[in-house]
Amino acid sequence: MHIMIIPTMGCPANCSYCWSSETTSLVMSKETMDDTVEWLKNFKKEPVTFTFHGGEPLLAGYDFYEYALNKIATELDFLYPAFAIQTNLWLMDDHLAELFKNYEVPIGSSLDGPKELNDIQRGVGYYEKTIKGYEIAKKHGLRVSFISTFTNYSIKRKEEIFNFFKDNGFNLKIHPALPSIKSHKSDNFTLEPEDYGELLLYLLDQYLDLADRIELKNIDHLCKGAFVRKGLVCTYVDCMGSTFAVGPDGSIYPCYRFVDMPDYVIGHVSDKPTYDELMDSKAEKLLLEYKDFVDEDCKNCKHIDYCRGGCPYNALTISNHEVNCVDPHCKAYKMIYDEIDEALNQKLNIAFDELNDVVEKDFNFTLNVGFENQENNTGKKFTVMDIAMK
């Protein structure tokens, strides 16, 4: 289970395409944190990952995290809690870094590429403040990974951006600029599905040569998911019922992307709602309706088991909160999954050919594995199977 804790929706940055930086947002109190822990004590008995998100979660301050991490770790120890945080790192200091190290909290941050690109997309000064926080985190031995948001502007500089992350030894996850239900602020930056698909194909091609020099989380997840025939991150699974977000005031939502949207409140931690009560809410029923829609609309797609129609929030964004389409990046997902599937089939074909040689020699019959006879001559240092097995 994944519980996302949103201490505040406030943020000191003003990124051009961001929809989650409300300057007047309150900050979660310790009392709300207490209610959250009490709610979870009798909610579901399964391991939980707690991700602190925002807004900018470090605005909650050191005292909040010292209290929250200790309370979760000691009172919810039977849930085997793991932690993570997504932050721009501006407010990172030695005390916070040491606290996060003690609780083994990996850091996710955001950086779009070289300084001048961040100046354009995230604002002048963003780059310097984030790098300063990154250096503090690294000094304390924290693992830091970056998300780079690709827009219809930055996509033209994809080679430069990729080389920036590779040359600096930064782990990378990419995110396409998307429309938002909350505002139209990001509309002018939205990345078209075909451009996103071409970006994923480009990164896969680079990764097959450079997987020993950089970690590309998107490509890792896509390859592994296609190999095991099951999505591994929330975009490609039926997330409804396995992810919940707690807003600054204790309201519960299906995901952090719905925080501060009254129509998507499914409960409140102070009421200690049961799992069934949350799933009986209007918002969760809407998401379950999306699941049923995907089952029917995508039933003939060969990628349905490990794509699941993409993110329901993305779909609801372009459909005025109605369930009548899948994630608008469906085309991009098909482009990259087609490429990955073809490469996996080539590798499996070779493996079965080798197995056939052994069977024919020792048992005098031939296996019928049903793969096309394809050669594996990519000229790449790594294969998709190598990525899937990382």
Which phi and psi angles does 4 have, rounded to 5°? -100, 125
Percent of the chain's residues with pLDDT above 70:
89
Residue 213 pLDDT level (bands cut at 50, 70, 90): very high
Query: How many Cβ atoms sit within 10 Å of the Cβ of residue 116?
Result: 11
Can you give the CATH number for the domain in which 180 is found? Answer: 3.20.20.70
- 183 vs 130, which has greater pLDDT? 130
Question: Lowest-pLDDT range, 275-284, 311-320, 355-364?
Answer: 355-364
Q: Are 85 and 108 in contact (CB under 8 A)?
A: yes
Token pair belonging to 52: 């602190």
Cα–Cα dist 21/55, whole Å: 5
Domain hosting 145: range is 1-390
Q: What is the pLDDT of residue 363?
A: 57
What's the domain count of the chain? 1
pTM for the model stands at: 0.90
Q: Is the peptide bond before 241 cis (omega within 30 degrees of 0)?
A: no
Cα–Cα dist 225/232, whole Å: 6
Q: How far is CA 275 from CA 36, 272, 279, 284, 336, in A?
A: 14, 10, 6, 11, 35
Cα–Cα dist 210/202, whole Å: 12
Q: How far is CA 148 from CA 110, 114, 161, 288, in A?
A: 6, 11, 9, 30
- 368 vs 83, which has greater pLDDT? 83
Average pLDDT over residues 317-340: 96
Three-state SS at 27: strand
Strand duo 243-246 + 251-253: pairing: antiparallel
Cα–Cα dist 207/166, whole Å: 10
Three-state SS at 108: strand
Q: Where does the chain show beta strands of DSSP type E?
A: 2-5, 49-52, 82-86, 107-110, 144-150, 171-176, 243-246, 251-253, 267-268
